[in-house]
A and B are shown apart, each in its own frame.
Chain A
Amino acid sequence: MENKIIKKQRYLIPHYFRKIGLIITIAAIIIPVIVKLMGINIIHSKKEILKLISMDLFMLGLFFVAFSRDKVEDELTIIIRLRAMSATFCFGIVFAIIYPLIYLVFGDPIEYIEGNKLIIIMLFNYLINYYSLKRNR
């Protein structure tokens, strides 16, 4: 018996994507480490490509973990997701404001946070919020 509202949750991906996401996330961490440990000589432009690919894979993996359905997705998990999402959004805004200010305070040239870095930090924050709220429900 599933609520119509829960059935309408089209924005969530199937549960098995959580495992796929974990595998992708781990692969995104391991691949650059292996390349470094094996001492594979990569030219500068290829290094940038490897960095970009591992960063994108990491982001994709975290996205799959964060937005895959739970085994039992009910109204309480929807509320928890909403709370975690709003807390993450607030955190993201505060982080984006504070980040360049830190450079300003320490006298370095001002640097703004890159979009993909901010998304990864927000995905991490969302996962922490979601699982801690779920544990304390």
Chain B
Amino acid sequence: MKNTIKVERAKQNITQQELADLVGVSRQTINSIESGRYVPSTTLSLKISDVFKTSVNEIFTLENED
């Protein structure tokens, strides 16, 4: 699963730590999601999309192997 969290963060000029604080997880978790090592839960995905004011589908997209 691909995601555009890094891009969205850059657009809104927020750090991984700031995003982590906003959604209530650790910075390492945000880093793992960004690098594609961890696929977040629906709750966390919705929280992230809420921070970026973007739909979940626009942030997270399925890849062929998913």
Contact = CB atoms under 8 A, between A and B. Distances in A.
A, B bound: yes
Interface of A: 1-3, 5, 70, 72, 74-77, 79, 134, 137
Contacts of B41: 75
Contacts of B20: 72
Given A137-B32, A137-B37, A77 B26 contact: yes
| Chain B interface helix/strand/loop/mixed | helix
A75 B26 contact: no
Interface residues of B, number: 16
B43 A74 contact: no
Given A137-B37, A137-B38, A76 B26 contact: yes
Contacts, number: 38
B1 interface: no
Q: Which of A1, A70, A74, A75 is packed against the most chain B CB atoms within 10 Å?
A: A74
Contacts of B14: none
Q: Which 4 A-B pairs have the closest CB atoms?
A: A1-B24, A74-B25, A72-B26, A76-B29
A70 B44 CA distance: 19
A76 B33 CA distance: 10
B47 interface: yes
A2 B25 CA distance: 8
Contacts of A75: 25, 29, 40-41, 43-44
28 contacts: A1-B22, A1-B23, A1-B24, A1-B47, A2-B24, A3-B24, A3-B43, A3-B44, A70-B26, A72-B25, A72-B26, A74-B24, A74-B25, A74-B26, A74-B29, A75-B25, A75-B40, A76-B25, A76-B26, A76-B28, A76-B29, A76-B38, A77-B26, A79-B38, A137-B28, A137-B29, A137-B32, A137-B38
